[in-house]
Structure 1
Amino acid sequence: MRVSVATAPGGSNPNEDWVAATSTLAVVLDGLSTAGLDTGCRHGVPWYVAQLGGHLVAALAEPGRPPADGLAQALDRVAALHPGCDLGNPGTPSATVSILRAGADRFDYLVLADSPIVFERDGDHQVVTDLRVDAMVPELRAEAKRFATGTPEHTKAVRRMVEAQRLTRNTVDGYWVAASSGDAAQRALTGAVPLADVQAVAVLSDGASRLVTEYRAASWADAFAMLRGDGVDGLISAVRKVEATDPEGLRWPRFKSGDDATVAFCQIS
């Protein structure tokens, strides 16, 4: 498997995405925004995703280990690194997780939350993603999208939305992300795809996938052609060009003018 990776911040704040790849593994993490709210942790989201990513890659170095088991171990080990922080805070640093691992005859995958894995299979595209978060606090989501991005009203509305979402995070009736407990790993979407059926795979944070899913500026076929022709940086550049035409979020209402964007593009040798 040949893997190309790229990641870029969505604005002036530190990038809260994380990506790593080997010849058999691709991992993308997307740290959840705090919207300026307290997290109970002195380390911050970039620290959290870097620690979780490193421990996750180490845990999955054993080829036969199920991705969910590796994620559970990584979550528990990162939690042990900062026992002095309030890990029970509903806003404790957290992230989406997407894992792709190539074996002898199949791809194993794990998706926790809304960073998709897209398989190109004989000209078709199979998208694996978990959109449970989109069903949470719909009235507050709609309110946040009423205002132009960057206005005080928008900032306040996003903050109210995130504060309410946190109360549903990692609950039975809510949505699941990687946070402070290994239990979340068992709530991920997992499966396998025969290796022989796949030409390429894209593992993306939602800041990159929105070119197709939110902005509708490309199809998945277009996106894969772009990845082959312009590379992973080219796909992120295409996202930024679309966002630049609508900086206030009037055509495409959203919670940030530009989100951190990450791509791991995996081609079969």
Structure 2
Amino acid sequence: MNMFYYDSICDGSSMINEDVANINKHGAWILDGATGLNGKNLIDKDSDAKWYVKQWDEYVNKNFHRTDIDLKRIVKEGINVVKDKYYKRVKDKCVKSLDLPSSSIVLTRWIKDTLEYFILGDCTLIIENNNKLNVIKDDSVTRLDNKVFQAMDEIMRKEGKTLSEAKKEVNNLIVRNRLLKNTNEGYWILGFDTEAVDRGLYGKIPFSSDTKLLMASDGFSAITDRYNYIDMENLIHEAQNKGLDNLCRKLRQIEEEDSSGDKYPRFKKNDDASAIYIELMNRVN
């Protein structure tokens, strides 16, 4: 399979971008990092999550060529590599579960006439192949977040509090949800637990014609599954026809017009937004 066109964006919401969107000749990947809830940066002065996704970006870039093993095996080995680096840097500091960085991740890799994918967390993968559209996403994180947003919305409407004030009011619920990380009752995400890999979304899809795919972090896919600007099924066509930059500008416009969070309660005004759009061509064509 040959990649014959791609577009990518990794738009940070602040000076510290905790997303990664990258691509090489073997595949593409997006990481959406999350720092621990205790507000501590134990190994990086800017952001532990930024350090974490950087380590994964380097690891994936170096290991995507290993077609003798599948993506699940690559991720499992990567967890041990990054975990070892983390604890060597953290040294003798007292580390609690809520301190640990984590990340959502979506990986795609093309091997001959097959697309291989792996997802943990709330990243989205949309594949158009043989005139069929397939949206692949784990909604576990989204369901938990929506409960928090509903509680924030009620506080803002009934008590007249701001977005940041409402978030503080529901902090216990946010912590409770985060403690469900990598459990059957909660959600599975890229952290330091290799068991999570077996709970991720994994698959291989054979191709017989030109194929398009769109990968996105939740900060980017919010334009459809949070702000309802466009249907998820049409997002890949908008990426193809208008480009990711234009979609991201529209995303930021929506967030700016609702900077108070009255219409769309959320954890913060803007989130890091990353996406990759790729057109693939089967080698036999």
**For the residues of structure 1 that align with 2:112 and 2:126, how far apart are their CA atoms?**
20
| Aligned counterparts, 1:233-244, within 5 A | 233-244=245-256
2:114 pairs with 1:106: yes
**For the residues of structure 2 that align with 1:188 and 1:207, how far apart are their CA atoms?**
20
Question: Cα deviation per residue 1:235-265 (whole Å; 9 max; x = unaligned)?
Answer: 2112112222211122222222111100111
C-alpha change, 1:156 and 1:76, in structure 2 (3 Å) is same
Question: Cα deviation per residue 1:123-146 (whole Å; 9 max; x = unaligned)?
Answer: 543110111123448754422333
* Residue 221 of structure 1, CA deviation: 5.2
> Which residue type is aligned with residue 102 of structure 2?
S
**For the residues of structure 1 that align with 2:77 and 2:102, how far apart are their CA atoms?**
15
**For the residues of structure 1 that align with 2:100 and 2:151, how far apart are their CA atoms?**
25
Unaligned runs of 5+ in 2: none
Identity %: 22
* Residue 222 of structure 1, CA deviation: 4.1
Provide the secondary structure at the position in 2 that maps to 1:196.
Answer: coil
Question: Cα deviation per residue 1:167-204 (whole Å; 9 max; x = unaligned)?
Answer: 11012322111112333222111012222255210010
- More displaced stretch, 37-46 vs 237-246: 37-46
Provide the secondary structure at the position in 1 that maps to 2:17.
Answer: coil
Q: Determine the structure 2 residue equivalent to 1:170.
A: 182
Q: Determine the structure 2 residue equivalent to 1:246.
A: 258
| Aligned counterparts, 1:9-48, within 5 A | 9-10=12-13, 12-32=14-34, 34=36, 37-38=38-39, 41-43=42-44, 44-48=48-52
- Decide whether the 8 Å contact of 2:26 with 2:65 is kept in 1: no
Unaligned runs of 5+ in 1: none
> Which residue type is aligned with residue 229 of structure 2?
A
C-alpha change, 1:123 and 1:254, in structure 2 (3 Å) is farther
2:9 pairs with 1:6: yes
Provide the secondary structure at the position in 2 that maps to 1:268.
Answer: strand
| Aligned counterparts, 1:180-191, within 5 A | 180-191=192-203
- More displaced stretch, 53-62 vs 219-228: 219-228
* Residue 152 of structure 1, CA deviation: 4.0
- Decide whether the 8 Å contact of 1:67 with 1:110 is kept in 2: yes
> Which residue type is aligned with residue 21 of structure 1?
I
**For the residues of structure 1 that align with 2:250 and 2:237, how far apart are their CA atoms?**
12
C-alpha change, 1:259 and 1:178, in structure 2 (3 Å) is same
- More displaced stretch, 73-82 vs 235-244: 235-244
TM-score by length of 2: 0.84
| Aligned counterparts, 1:1-269, within 5 A | 1=3, 2-10=5-13, 12-32=14-34, 34=36, 37-38=38-39, 41-43=42-44, 44-83=48-87, 84=91, 89-136=97-144, 140-147=148-155, 151-157=163-169, 159-196=171-208, 199-220=211-232, 222-269=234-281
